[in-house]
Structures are given as structure tokens and as C-alpha cells.
A and B are shown apart, each in its own frame.
Chain A
Amino acid sequence: MKNVIIGQYIPGNSFFYRMDPRSKIISLMILMVASFILKDVFQIGVMLLFVFALLIIGKIPVGRILRGLRPLMYLLIFTFFFQILLNKTEPVLYQGTLHFSFLSIIVVILVYFFYRFSKKYVPFKMLYLLLFIISIFVVLINVDNVTAFKTTNLAIYQGGVLMALYITLRLVVIVTLSTILTLSTKPTDLNLGLESILKPLKIIKFNTEELAMIISIALRYIPTLLDEANKIMLAQASRGVDFSEGKLKDKIMQVISLLVPMFIISFKRSDDLANAMEARSFVPGKPRTRLHVLTWKSIDTITIVFSTFVFIASIYMVVS
């Protein structure tokens, strides 16, 4: 439990790792705004190629990026199909007829069950889901055109396809950019960078130092709390609580029997920590020196200039 690796950070030595977190956050912001400005599928495609080049230069594993995209996938697939089916901007790309008959519905149900049971053994689940939805359409178009009791026209328009691609690719670009940041920066560095970037917010009485302090304390708490939870579980087990078995009601009571001591211990811990900080004369809001000081190197300036260049280029693409 001691060596819990926290966060998405993976160690490496490409140029992303040598950069200052501040410059990484700023250029991420610039690139995100740039990709929001773009209005066309082809422009977004250029942006996607650019991001892909960044991945290759920075030696960042694509598998981890896909893992970051996973929570978005359902939404992406849904918006993709809704746009294709509902957006009716000319010209027509494809026109066909869906046939609903007893035979074709039975085939659809069979395909569904095949999908349900074979899902476990397929590595790319989302691509498989996409394939499944497409295969349903193929079945409805081709199987049993004779005895259909209901037919519906299906028309796919070019505008719909382009819009669907545009929306999905833009989200993919934005999330990939933010994943590059979190993969190549340690949470503590990110915290420091955020703190110094948000400093101008002091004008509206928002104290960023306190926020950074809270985040770093919370980071430090997580392994401690995991440790404590483990201890409490062992203590309860030695009193005869069985965490692996029992009915639902027993399980709920077991979780509650964990919660109360866990909260009492963690409140005690936070009290101790507050006392310790006070004893070391920590005063919130007073200027402090740091153990790790962020250094701004030439690579950071180059990155900022480069991403500003991308930003200007994207404005130029939209205007012309």
C-alpha cells in the first residue's frame, strides 16, 4: 500500500517531461482555444494530424490516450449516429430502405445475442459496439425484402456525416491534448503550475495558494487513508467480520462498520495535521519559500511561441 502510484503519470524522458508545467498548461489552453475556433472537418483533421505528430515526437503511448478517451466513447458513438440520422443537409450520400419483417427482426435479435456473449472476448469493445450498430442497419436493409410489414426510408446526407465527424474529432483532439498534459506531468508539479498560473485571480480575492495547499494535502492523505482503511478492515476481521460473504444487508452493515471508524480516524488525523502546521508557524496567505522551484527554460518559450503560431494559423485557416 505504501507505493501507490497516483494519477495517470508515466515516467519518461521525452521533451514533454523536460518542460515546465506552467508552459505546458498555457500551451494546452492556447491549443484548446485554437481547436474550438476551427469550423470545418478538414481543419479539425489537420489539427488531429498535428496532435498525432506531437504524440509520436513526445513518445507517448497511444494506448494510454485511448484509455483517457474511454469514458467519452458512448457519448461519441451516440452523437455520431444521431448526427448522421437527423442532420439533413444536402447532398445525399446514400439512400436505402429499412425492412422490418419477422425474419429480419429475428436476425437482429440473434445478432444482438451474439454481440452480448462475444463482447467479453473482444479487445476493442467500442469498435465492436460500432460494428454491431452498423451490422444491425446492414441486416435491416438487406434481409427479407418481400414480407416486410413496415418499411422506412434511410437517407444519409453529406452534411450529417461531416457534422458528426467534426463534433467527434473535436472532442477527441481536446481530450487527447489534456491527456498528454496529465500523462507527462506529476500531480505535484501540475499543482505547483496551476498555483502560479492562477495567481492573477488574487484580484478577486481568490487565494490560489490555499487551493494548492489543499490539493497537496489531499494528495498526501490518499495513501495514508488507504493504509488506515486496511488496518480497520483487519481489526474488524479479527473481531469476526467476514467481508467476502454475507447477504446484501450484512454487506451494507459491514461497509457502515468501516465508515464510522474511518471518519473518526481521518478527522483525528486532520486535527493532528492542523496542530502540527500551527506549531511550525504556518500562516495561511503569508508568502512562503518552496522546496521545488519551477524553472523556465528556453524550451518553454519555444513551446509557447510555437503554440501561438498554431493558434494564429488556425485563425488564418478559418478566415481565408
Chain B
Amino acid sequence: MKNSKIKDITLIALFPAIMGATSTISIPFGGYAPITLQTLFVFIAGLLLGPKKAFLSIVVYLVMGAMGLPMFSGGSSGLGVLLGATSGFLFFFPIAAFITGLLKNIKIINKNIWLIGPFMFIINILIYMSGAAYLSHYLEVSYLPLLLSFWSYLPGDIIKIIAASYVYKRMRNQITYE
């Protein structure tokens, strides 16, 4: 196809818009980070768009959030969020989407999509580690106890991982942009 670049542009614009539209759905939870659909869309972006486009699309999401659009959890926005407690999680989202996209392109995993579940679980742990690293640096708390205190987010995130793989399984026959 000659002008697949236009298609890329419209696809990359899609995910920030979806994440912005659903950002108001969030459950305040624990002290630091509320439960949101953000990680779900990060994984789905990685699965549906592939590594490069997913990375770009999540970066655009962060830029739009910094511009003052209600992109982050609970419709919050601005530089305050990007410097705030949850920024360790936010800055790892593009990398997480990139890794997910890379894994999806491996042939064995692509044939049997449920294989990607454990990998996404590991990526999720990486997101926690990044978030905890920032928080522990900021609050001057020791790293490991803080990381372990995130266990209560795990059940929700496992559900999100299953949902992401399910959506990809249903969608990939109808979308052949890869």
C-alpha cells in the first residue's frame, strides 16, 4: 500500500483518544494509585498496533496529558500528575506497550495467544517496579516493602491481562493492519 503512513497516523491517534474517553472510570484504591483501565489499554495497544506504533501512541497520550487534557486517572491532567506520585507507572507505559508489541510478533506466541499471558504478567510486575522505584526515591522509603505493598493491585491486573488477550483474540481476524 502506498500511503500506509496516513493509516498509521489515524491508528496512533486512536488509543490516546480511547484512554482519554475512559479516563473518568477509576476506582480510588489504596494510598497511591487508583485502579484504572489505563494498563488494559496499554496492553491492547501493544497487541493491536505492534511495538513502534504502540510506543508512539502511549507517548502521545502522555504529551496530551501534560498539555492539560483530562487524560489521567479520574480525569486529572497537567504537569502535576507527571511529577506526582504515580509518574513512575506512567513513564513506563510506553515501554510496556513496546515490549508487548515485540512479544506479540514472535510466531509461537502469535499462534497461541494465551501464551502471552505470563509475559504480560511479567511486564505488569515491571510496571510496578518502575512505579515503586519512583515512589521509594521520592518518599525515601525502602524499595522492597513498597513493591510488596502493591500485591493488592494484582487480581485486578490479572483480570485486565485476560481481558486484553481476549479482545485481541476476537479482534485480530477483523483487523489486518500488521
Contact = CB atoms under 8 A, between A and B. Distances in A.
Given A8-B77, A271-B7, A260 B68 contact: no
A82 B139 CA distance: 8
B63 interface: yes
A269 B14 CA distance: 9
Contact of B60 (A70, A175, A218, A271): A218
A68 B72 CA distance: 12
Contacts of A68: 78, 80
Interface stretch (A135-143, A219-227, A300-308, A312-320): A219-227
Interface stretch (A36-44, A72-80, A97-105, A155-163): A72-80
Nearest to A186: B68
Given A68-B78, A69-B80, A182-B77, A217 B10 contact: yes
Contact of A171 (B81, B83, B140, B166): B83
Contacts of A219: 17, 64, 69
Contact of B84 (A75, A185, A215): A75
Contacts, number: 171
A285 B97 CA distance: 26
B64 A217 contact: no
A182 B78 contact: yes
Contacts of A51: none
A86 B7 CA distance: 55
A273 B10 contact: yes
Interface in B33-77: 44, 48, 56, 60, 63-64, 66-70, 72, 76-77
| Majority SS at the chain B contact face | helix
Interface string B5-18: 11101111110111
B68 A274 contact: no
- Assign chain A's interface to a size class: 35 or more
A274 B56 CA distance: 18
Nearest to B60: A214
Interface string A1-37: 0000011110000000000000000000000000000
A75 B78 contact: no
A5 to B, nearest CB: 10
B79 to A, nearest CB: 4
B100 to A, nearest CB: 16
B17 A222 contact: yes
Contact of B10 (A178, A259, A262, A274): A274
Interface in A219-274: 219, 221-222, 224-226, 229, 252, 255-256, 259-260, 262-264, 266-267, 269-271, 273-274
A218 B19 CA distance: 10
